[in-house]
Chain A
């Protein structure tokens, strides 16, 4: 029935020889097959963070606002008025490559469970996506499939997707990235934790029935892919957003009372992970009987039930004597709910199946005792690469064509094709829609708003991981400032290649160092996140791609700063240092010259902090008609984005640039700490005064109006593009490429 495991089966399950020996030491005997499967899942990179744990410890995780830091299902920060924002970002990269629709959809389902497990009602979603070039049909299928999957799940749940990012690089062709972020709101004093502290309390399994889907998803997500990846499709779970909607409503209804001691969602490694984590966090044990677990199919053995990753399930630790409440609420929502065991005091996870003990292991052996590596780190010999200066590049002859080309490029074209497939208005709280720097939702009955953004630049991090990490944080904080919000907490998803390669670990540690420097400069704590290693297919690693989600508070939601030009005659100002001409690793270099090289701009964290304070002051005083930060594509990109509002309205602009040398730098340079503002002429003086008080350089840069984007260089016309054609190129190019 359940024979003892051998070294061969352990190796086949992804464990190493040393790990197999360590399991024997921890148990004092050889594990059986079920136990081996449980160790294999829990000690996988995905669940144990064995290559990353020691490095993640460097992140700042504390601030007066932090209610729950890393370690729980999601982080929680105090946002005032007795409320907490509960949020996290998580990857679903490997499942998406195998099956894009379900892989991406269940990524949304998983992150939402993390949020409502904490007792928070999810109110917003975002996602960060990376695919290979759309010239390859397979990549088009991955993009359209993943977006449709995310839309299907999030829309059905009735939670608006208010922001995100989509980028394309060759390195993601065989390894797309799907990182899903969710944010919920809970009373600050009623955050639920996943700690089973009271022996004798009943443990319930609620929600969906357990089936054979997703078995060994955690191990699959912890290995590099080869040509047989397609054969792994059965390891991808199938999502049912309708069931999750019911599960969410039932859990939130139950959590309003006090019948629950702890809640833990079932994601990676299913019952094994949820039972052992909830017990070891509370210093307890768990005894369950698999005969009581509602099953979708017959003949499942203990191994399959313990490792199934069937979606939409939760583990509840119920207060003794309060079981009737659980039954009543789950019956109302027509959901399965059954007691499957109890909390014990002996620290063991004891699993019964068909009258026998199928597994008996210390909970801590699966969790806290998991191996932790200090993997070798080696700096690659090519680093650092030289800065790129315009003199190294052939000079374009037709700037109209270049600006139009960039406006329709995969890097800079409007993401409308993607975000219009996501319901971003449900809940009627979205007050800044996707397509700007950050999404903002309000809370009915409160004055403040919650702003959020998800940012990363794999190209930067590939060329200089420390700079790339710092810039990801800086850009996210700048995006929040651009709508007038103050950053209060962050989460990150660290997508990297194979950690067994020393140069990958160098990228990882350097990116963490850069992120840490920036987080400390902004005073923003990391409250949780996720590491996705082994983003390697057929020996090729992805660009190191840390994605940072930052959440901010906008004290007065009515003071949010618009993201688009509005009135003819408004004046344009460029705020920030005049050192913005960096072209290394830029969108321009990639899209126009087909080069991904050079060094990304040097972060200027002090200037970023000053710019942020300045933009928030501008928002509070209401003296900007629009603000947008400069990032990929520089000034040209931000000018184009500002022309076209999401409601379909548009207005032209005259951009005036002073330039002593070549135009590439001023137009497309991606130097840090900059933003483009439009202001009414009567507010220009107040703006200048505010800028000087905050130590932010301010340069006049033209005006709003007309029916074209015009760019004058030293007073002479250099670019003139009619809005009609520019709108079509900017707004529709991505959709045309995706559906080609």
Chain B
């Protein structure tokens, strides 16, 4: 059994989707944890869901790192437990220094909500464990700041260490410019930390866990997360 914490900041709005997806896909217990909590004891993994934490004032995810819950979250990351971010959760983990890079405004300068395809690049993360590199998955994005940036040196290191775990791709699995919804460098849709226990992506597996939603490829990511907690 694994217990999942789903963090809730004021302005978070995908906590219900993530909670439901984890429970539906893995059958494991998951709980919402308010940002003022000072402890995450007893949890095996934590997910930072999407939304607009603290209104995304200052920068997307910029204020969340001052919330009390971020301290125990950093300790979970230090201890090698799974810490995962989705969308705004990705931005929060970047702002907290748990993941590399930063997000600029989308190249279109607009919010974008539509299905994208992403290709698994490396299976060395809680989101991709057990998925074959090259696997293409379809799920929606929904963000205004998903344009991944890092300087050349960082980017080179990320690629060399296989820290890029997802790339936007087209129907044929090619990482083309047309398939990139936001202008991210190297079509990056998801990354992990060096140790391989903290990972995040901009697309929403929590909006693609049942055929009724137009696709169920997101299940693969939650199954992977469950697998990681068992390893």
State the A residues within 8 Å of B (CB). 148, 151-152, 155-158, 240-243, 245-246, 333-334, 419-428, 430-431, 433, 442, 444, 557-558, 646-648
Minimum CB–CB distance for A561 against chain B, Å: 14
| Segment touching A, from B40-48, B182-190, B205-213 | B205-213
Which residues, 195 to 231 on B, are CB-close (under 8 Å) to A?
Answer: 204, 206-207, 209, 212-215
Q: How far is the CA of A662 from the CA of B52 in the complex (A)?
A: 55
B13–A148 CB distance below 8 A = no
Task: Provide the residues of chain A in CB contact with B50, threshold 8 Å.
Answer: 426
A431–B54 CB distance below 8 A = no
List, sorted by A's number, 18 A–B pairs whose CB atoms are closer than 8 Å: A155-B52, A156-B52, A156-B56, A158-B51, A242-B11, A246-B11, A419-B113, A420-B113, A425-B140, A426-B17, A426-B207, A427-B16, A427-B17, A428-B209, A557-B212, A646-B114, A646-B214, A648-B171
Q: How far is the CA of A558 from the CA of B209 in the complex (A)?
A: 15
0/1 interface trace, chain B 1-38, chain A, CB 8 Å (1 if under): 00000000011011011001100000000000000000
B113–A424 CB distance below 8 A = yes
A158–B213 CB distance below 8 A = no
Q: Which 5 A-B pairs have the closest CB atoms?
A: A158-B13, A242-B55, A428-B17, A425-B207, A423-B142
Minimum CB–CB distance for A124 against chain B, Å: 14
Q: How far is the CA of A148 from the CA of B109 in the complex (A)?
A: 10
Task: Provide the residues of chain A in CB contact with B10, threshold 8 Å.
Answer: 242, 245-246, 333-334
Task: Provide the residues of chain B in CB contact with A433, threshold 8 Å.
Answer: 214
Cβ-closest chain B residue relative to A416: B114
Cβ-closest chain B residue relative to A161: B113
Known contacts A422-B113, A423-B113, A647-B214: does B17 contact A156 (CB below 8 Å)?
Answer: no
Q: How far is the CA of A235 from the CA of B3 in the complex (A)?
A: 51
A421–B112 CB distance below 8 A = yes
Minimum CB–CB distance for B145 against chain A, Å: 12
B213–A431 CB distance below 8 A = yes
Is residue B162 within 8 Å, beta carbon to beta carbon, of the partner chain? Answer: no
Is residue B167 within 8 Å, beta carbon to beta carbon, of the partner chain? Answer: no
Cβ-closest chain A residue relative to B52: A156
A647–B13 CB distance below 8 A = no
Cβ-closest chain A residue relative to B21: A428
Task: Provide the residues of chain B in CB contact with A558, threshold 8 Å.
Answer: 212
Is residue B138 within 8 Å, beta carbon to beta carbon, of the partner chain? Answer: yes
B213–A428 CB distance below 8 A = yes
Is residue B174 within 8 Å, beta carbon to beta carbon, of the partner chain? Answer: no
0/1 interface trace, chain B 49-61, chain A, CB 8 Å (1 if under): 0111011110000
Cβ-closest chain A residue relative to B55: A242
A245–B11 CB distance below 8 A = yes
Minimum CB–CB distance for A425 against chain B, Å: 4
Task: Provide the residues of chain A in CB contact with B207, threshold 8 Å.
Answer: 425-426, 428
Is residue B71 within 8 Å, beta carbon to beta carbon, of the partner chain? Answer: no
Task: Provide the residues of chain A in CB contact with B52, threshold 8 Å.
Answer: 155-156, 241-242, 245
A421–B11 CB distance below 8 A = no
Q: How far is the CA of A426 from the CA of B57 in the complex (A)?
A: 20
Task: Provide the residues of chain B in CB contact with A426, threshold 8 Å.
Answer: 13-14, 17, 50, 142, 207
B138–A647 CB distance below 8 A = yes
Cβ-closest chain A residue relative to B181: A420
Q: How far is the CA of A240 from the CA of B55 in the complex (A)?
A: 9
Which residues, 155 to 173 on B, are CB-close (under 8 Å) to A?
Answer: 171
Cβ-closest chain B residue relative to A159: B13
Q: Is the interface of B mostly helix, strand, loop or mixed?
A: mixed
Task: Provide the residues of chain A in CB contact with B21, threshold 8 Å.
Answer: 428
Task: Provide the residues of chain A in CB contact with B14, threshold 8 Å.
Answer: 158, 426
B51–A242 CB distance below 8 A = no
Select which of B16, B115, B204, B212 is within 8 A of A442 by beta carbon: B212
B55–A420 CB distance below 8 A = no
Known contacts A242-B57, A420-B114, A647-B214: does B204 contact A425 (CB below 8 Å)?
Answer: yes
Is residue B135 within 8 Å, beta carbon to beta carbon, of the partner chain? Answer: no
Minimum CB–CB distance for B211 against chain A, Å: 9
Q: How far is the CA of A496 from the CA of B20 in the complex (A)?
A: 45
Cβ-closest chain B residue relative to A424: B113
Task: Provide the residues of chain A in CB contact with B16, threshold 8 Å.
Answer: 427-428
Q: How far is the CA of A155 from the CA of B56 in the complex (A)?
A: 12
Is residue B110 within 8 Å, beta carbon to beta carbon, of the partner chain? Answer: yes
A648–B115 CB distance below 8 A = yes
Q: How far is the CA of A84 from the CA of B48 in the complex (A)?
A: 32
Cβ-closest chain A residue relative to B113: A423
Minimum CB–CB distance for B92 against chain A, Å: 15
Q: How far is the CA of A444 from the CA of B24 in the complex (A)?
A: 11
Cβ-closest chain A residue relative to B112: A420
Minimum CB–CB distance for A197 against chain B, Å: 33
Cβ-closest chain B residue relative to A649: B171
Minimum CB–CB distance for A145 against chain B, Å: 12
Select which of B110, B142, B144 is within 8 A of A425 by beta carbon: B142
Task: Provide the residues of chain B in CB contact with A240, threshold 8 Å.
Answer: 55
0/1 interface trace, chain B 77-115, chain A, CB 8 Å (1 if under): 000000000000000000000000000000000111111
Q: How far is the CA of A506 from the CA of B78 in the complex (A)?
A: 72
A421–B213 CB distance below 8 A = no
Task: Provide the residues of chain B in CB contact with A158, threshold 8 Å.
Answer: 13-14, 51
Q: Could you say which of A151, A422, A428, A648 has the most chain B C-beta atoms within 10 Å of its C-beta?
A: A428
B13–A151 CB distance below 8 A = no
Task: Provide the residues of chain A in CB contact with B209, threshold 8 Å.
Answer: 428
Task: Provide the residues of chain A in CB contact with B17, threshold 8 Å.
Answer: 426-428
Minimum CB–CB distance for A328 against chain B, Å: 14
Q: Could you say which of B17, B54, B112 has the most chain A C-beta atoms within 10 Å of its C-beta?
A: B17
Minimum CB–CB distance for B56 against chain A, Å: 8
Q: How far is the CA of A712 from the CA of B114 in the complex (A)?
A: 34
Q: How far is the CA of A245 from the CA of B56 in the complex (A)?
A: 13
Task: Provide the residues of chain A in CB contact with B57, threshold 8 Å.
Answer: 242
Task: Provide the residues of chain B in CB contact with A421, threshold 8 Å.
Answer: 110-113
Known: A240-B55, A420-B114. 18 other contacts (CB 8 A): A148-B111, A151-B110, A155-B111, A158-B13, A158-B51, A242-B52, A243-B55, A245-B11, A246-B10, A246-B11, A333-B10, A334-B10, A423-B113, A424-B113, A425-B113, A425-B204, A442-B212, A648-B171
Task: Provide the residues of chain A in CB contact with B140, threshold 8 Å.
Answer: 425
Minimum CB–CB distance for B52 against chain A, Å: 5
Q: How far is the CA of A201 from the CA of B9 in the complex (A)?
A: 33
Q: How far is the CA of A430 from the CA of B111 in the complex (A)?
A: 18
B110–A148 CB distance below 8 A = yes
Q: How far is the CA of A288 from the CA of B190 in the complex (A)?
A: 54
Minimum CB–CB distance for B31 against chain A, Å: 17
Q: How far is the CA of A656 from the CA of B212 in the complex (A)?
A: 33
Task: Provide the residues of chain B in CB contact with A422, threshold 8 Å.
Answer: 111, 113
Minimum CB–CB distance for B59 against chain A, Å: 14
Minimum CB–CB distance for B117 against chain A, Å: 9
Cβ-closest chain A residue relative to B12: A158
Minimum CB–CB distance for A734 against chain B, Å: 13
A155–B142 CB distance below 8 A = yes
Q: How far is the CA of A557 from the CA of B210 in the complex (A)?
A: 13
Minimum CB–CB distance for A152 against chain B, Å: 8
Task: Provide the residues of chain B in CB contact with A246, threshold 8 Å.
Answer: 10-11
Q: How far is the CA of A646 from the CA of B114 in the complex (A)?
A: 8
Cβ-closest chain B residue relative to A152: B111
Q: How far is the CA of A152 from the CA of B56 in the complex (A)?
A: 11
Q: Could you say which of A246, A334, A423, A424 has the most chain B C-beta atoms within 10 Å of its C-beta?
A: A423
Task: Provide the residues of chain B in CB contact with A241, threshold 8 Å.
Answer: 52, 55
Task: Provide the residues of chain B in CB contact with A152, threshold 8 Å.
Answer: 111
Known contacts A158-B14, A246-B10: does B112 contact A430 (CB below 8 Å)?
Answer: no
Q: How far is the CA of A420 from the CA of B16 in the complex (A)?
A: 22
Task: Provide the residues of chain A in CB contact with B204, threshold 8 Å.
Answer: 425
A157–B13 CB distance below 8 A = yes
Task: Provide the residues of chain A in CB contact with B213, threshold 8 Å.
Answer: 425, 428, 430-431
Task: Provide the residues of chain A in CB contact with B54, threshold 8 Å.
Answer: 242
Minimum CB–CB distance for A421 against chain B, Å: 5
Q: Could you say which of B57, B140, B204 has the most chain A C-beta atoms within 10 Å of its C-beta?
A: B140
Known contacts A155-B142, A423-B113, A425-B140: does B13 contact A431 (CB below 8 Å)?
Answer: no
0/1 interface trace, chain B 130-150, chain A, CB 8 Å (1 if under): 000000001010101000000
